Amino acid sequence: MTAASVSPVARAEATRHAWLVVGLSLIVACALVGSLFVGYAGLDVTQAIADALRGAQTLPAIVLVELRLPRALLGCFVGFSLGLAGAAMQGFLRNPLAEPGVVGVSGAAALGAVIAFYSGLSTLVPLALPFGAIAGAIFAALLLFALVGRGAGTMTVILAGVAINSFAAALTSLALNLSPNGFSALEIVYWLMGSLVDRSLPQVWLATPFMLAGWILLLTAAPALDALSLGEPTARSLGFDMARLRVRLVVGAALAVGASVAVSGAIGFVGLVAPHVLRPFVGHRPGRLLFVSGLGGAALLLLADIAARLLPIRPELKLGVITAMVGAPFLFHLVYRLRREA
Amino acid sequence: MLRLADADRVASVSWLSRDAANSNVAALADRVPVNHGLAEEVMSHRPDVVLAGAWSSRTTVEILKRLGVKLVEFDVPRTFDEARAEIRKLAAAIGEQERGEAMVRDIDAGLAALPSPKPPLRALVMQPNGFTVEKGSLVEEIMNRAGLENLASRVGGGGYLQVPLEAVALQQADVMILNGEAYGAPSLATAALEHPIIKALGRRLRVVALPPKLWTCVGPNLVEATRLLIAQTRGAGTAAR
C-alpha cells in the first residue's frame, strides 16, 4: 500500500481526530474568553478591551490587562502543561496512573520553588524561581523513572509517588517554617494546592518560555511513544532510541511542570483526568493523545478557575481543591479497575 | 505597660515586644526579660500580676488561673473609648492610675490638636496576603478620624477579609494604606503588594505606607498614626512610596 492510497478507515480516523482537535480548541478558546469575563466586581469587558486596544489607561483596561488577562493565560498554559505532561508520562511508563501530581513531580517542583523564593534568591534573580522548580521536577522525574522503570506494576508507581510526594511536602513545610517571615507558614497551602489569584503579566513572561520548550520536547516525542506502544523491541527496530526518549521526556515534563508550579503552585489531577477522558477518542494511541490531553488540561483548569471565582466561598478555594474534587473519583475508579484486572 | 511602669517593676514581657518593626517599646523591652507566652516561663518569674491579651494562648491562661495567679485579661479595643478604658484598666492593675490618666489626657490632647479633613476620601487598608481591616475596628476609627472612609465593608462581610486586588481596583479607592513594612524576608504575602497593577493605577490611587507598629497596640502611637494618615493623604506632596 502506498501513501497515496490511504485506507478509508485510516482517513476516517484522521478526520475524526481533526474534529476532536478543533472541538477541544473551541472549548479552550471559550473558557479563555469566559475567564476574562468572570471576576469579583462588575467590569465592562467589551469597554475594557476597547480601551486597552486604544492604549487608554482607564480603570477597566488596567484591571483587564494587569489582572484578568494574566490569570486566564496562566490557567490555559498551566493546564496545557499538566495535561500534556500527564499524557506523556503515562505513554512512556505505560501506566494510566502516572501523573505529575500523583507521582510527586509537582510536589518536588513546589519544593524547588519554595527554596528559591523564601531564600530570597528569586528577589535578586527572578529566573531563580522557575529554575528552582524545574530542578525539583527533574530530580523527582529522574528518581521516579529510576525507581519504577518501564512497565513496572501500578503498585510500584503509586508507592514511589507516595514516597516522593510526602518527602517533598515535608521538606516544603520545613523550608516555610524556617523562613523568618511570619506569613510564610500560612503559604504552604498555596504551594501544595495551587491558585491563580492575583497573577501578573511578568509571571506570564517568566514561565511561558520554559513551558513552551517543554511542550516542544514532549509533543515531538509522539512518534516514539506510538512506536513504543507496540513494545520496546519493535520501537527499537523502528529506530527509536529508548535512552534518548527517556531523557527527552524527563526534561520536557520537568520544564512544563516546573515552570507551571513556579507560578501557580502544585495543582493535582489535571494530568490524570484529561488523558483518561480523551484516551478512547484517539484510539488509545499515546502519540495522538499528547496534544489533545494538553487541550483537555487547559479547558479543565480554566473551568476550575472560573468555578473558584463563581462559587460563593471566600477567600476563594485553592485550585487543587477543585481539581481534586473532579479528579479523585477518576483516581479511585482507575485503582478499582486495575485491581480487577490484576 | 512598659510605658506605665518603671522597668524594674516589670518581671517579663512578651518576646514580640522586642521586634522593632511591630513594637513601639522595643527599646524599653530590651531591658526586661522576655517570655514566649508559656505558663512555665511566666511562673518562673513569680509575678504578682499577669497581663494577658485576647491573643494569648488559652491553655496558658487556664493553667495560670488554676495556679491562682492574679490575672488581668485585655480585649482588643474597637474604639477610642475602649482604648482609653483599656489603658485605665491596665494602669489600675499595676497600681499606676495617675500615669494611666496622664497617658489618656495626652492622647485626647493630641487628637484634639489634629485637623478634621473633609470631604472623606475612600480608602482600603491592604495587609500582606491581601487582608484588609474589618468594619468596627480601632483601625477604622483611626481612619475615620483622619477623614477616610473604610471601603472594606463594601467588599464583603465582617472580619479581617482577604481582598483580591481586582476588588481593590474596581472599588475605586482614593487611598490604599499599605501595612507593608511588617517583615523584610520574602513571602508571597508581601509580593502581592508589589503587583504591577498598583503601579499601573498610579495617580488615581495614593499609596500610603504606615508602620504597623503604630496601630497594633493602644497608646500614644494612636495619635501618631492619625497624624501620619492625615499628613500623607491630604498633603500636597506625592504619594509615599
DSSP B156-213: SSSSS-B--HHHHHHTT-SEEEE---S--S--HHHHGGG-HHHHHHGGGSEEEE--TH
Q: Which of A45, A57, A67 best tests the B interface by mutation, with the highest count of B CBs <10 A?
A: A67
Mean pLDDT of B117-145: 73
Q: Give pLDDT tens digits for B76-124.
A: 777 888 888 888 888 888 878 888 888 888 888 888 888 888 788 888 7
Question: Distance of alpha carbon A113 from its chain centroid, rounded?
Answer: 16
| pLDDT of residue B234 exceeding 60 | yes
| Predicted pLDDT at B237 | 38
- Average per-residue pLDDT in chain A? 89
**Contact assessment for residue A68 and residue B167, using Cβ atoms and an 8 Å cutoff:** no
Q: Given an 8 Å threshold on Cβ–Cβ distance, is B189 in contact with A181?
A: yes
Helix H or strand E encompassing B124:
strand B121-126
∠ at Cα B71 (B67, B76), nearest 5°? 140
In this complex, do A314 and B190 lie within 8 Å of one another by their Cβ atoms? no
Residue type for A96, please?
P
Which chain B residue is nearest to residue A315, measuring alpha carbons? B162
A39-43, A219-223, B151-155, B160-164: the lowest-pLDDT one: B160-164
Give the pLDDT of residue B158.
44
How far are the Cα atoms of A163, A285, A338 from residue A279, in angstroms, in the given order?
28, 8, 16
Residue in A244, A246, A290, A299 with CA at minimum distance from that of residue A270? A299
- What average pLDDT score do residues B132-153 get? 76
What value does the mean pLDDT take over residues A269-293? 93
Can you give the pLDDT at residue B46? Answer: 75
CA dihedral A154, A158, A161, A165 (to 10 degrees): 170
- Give CA–CA dist A278/A23, Å, rounded: 12
pLDDT at B56: 66
Contacts of A183 in chain B (CB under 8 A): 128-129, 183, 187-190
- Contact residues on chain B for A65, CB-CB shorter than 8 A: 200
| Helix, coil or strand: residue A37 | helix
Distance CA A135, CA A251 (A): 10
Residue B180 pLDDT more than 60?
no
| Lowest-confidence region among A104-108, A112-116, A231-235, B153-157 | B153-157
What secondary structure does DSSP assign to B45-82, as a single string?
Answer: T--S-EEE-TTS-HHHHHHHHHTT--EEE-PPP-SHHH
Give pLDDT tens digits for A95-133. 888 889 888 999 999 999 999 988 888 888 888 999 999
* CA–CA min distance B184, chain A (Å): 7
Residues of B with CB under 8 A from a CB of A: 128-130, 156, 161-162, 164-167, 169-172, 182-190, 192, 195-197, 200-202, 204
> Which residues of chain A are within 8 Å of residue B156 when distances are taken between CB atoms?
314
Percentage of chain B lying above the pLDDT 90 cut: 0
Full DSSP string of A265-323: ----SHHHHHHHHHGGGGTT-HHHHHHHHHHHHHHHHHHHHHHHHHSS-SSPPPHHHHH
The predicted structure's pLDDT at residue B159: 43
Contacts (Cβ under 8 Å, ≥6 apart) of B108 = B84
Helix A154-178 crosses helix A105-118 at what angle (to 10 degrees)? 10
A341's CB contacts (< 8 A; 6+ apart) are none
The answer to whether A192 and A135 are in contact (CB under 8 A) is no
Mean pLDDT comparison of A53-57, B188-192, B217-221, highest-scoring range = A53-57
Q: Which of B55, B126, B170 should we substitute to test contact with A (largest number of A Cβ atoms within 10 Å)?
A: B170
Say what the pLDDT of residue B217 is.
65
pLDDT tens per residue across span B29-79: 666 777 776 777 777 777 777 777 766 667 777 887 888 777 887 777 778
Q: How far apart are CA A144 and CA A249, in angstroms?
A: 12
Under the banding of pLDDT at 50, 70 and 90, the label for residue A2 is very low
Q: Given an 8 Å threshold on Cβ–Cβ distance, is A123 in contact with B186?
A: yes
At B241 the pLDDT is: 32
- pTM of the full structure: 0.82
- The answer to whether the Cβ–Cβ distance between B183 and A122 falls below 8 Å is no
Q: Assign A222 a pLDDT band (cuts: 50, 70, 90).
A: very high
Q: Which of B166, B188, B204 sits opposite A67 (nearest CB)?
A: B166
For A197, which of B164, B186, B204 is closest by C-beta distance? Answer: B164
Distance between B99 CA and the closest CA of chain A, angstroms: 34
The answer, yes or no, to whether residue A19 has pLDDT greater than 90, is: yes
C-alpha cell at A99: 501523573
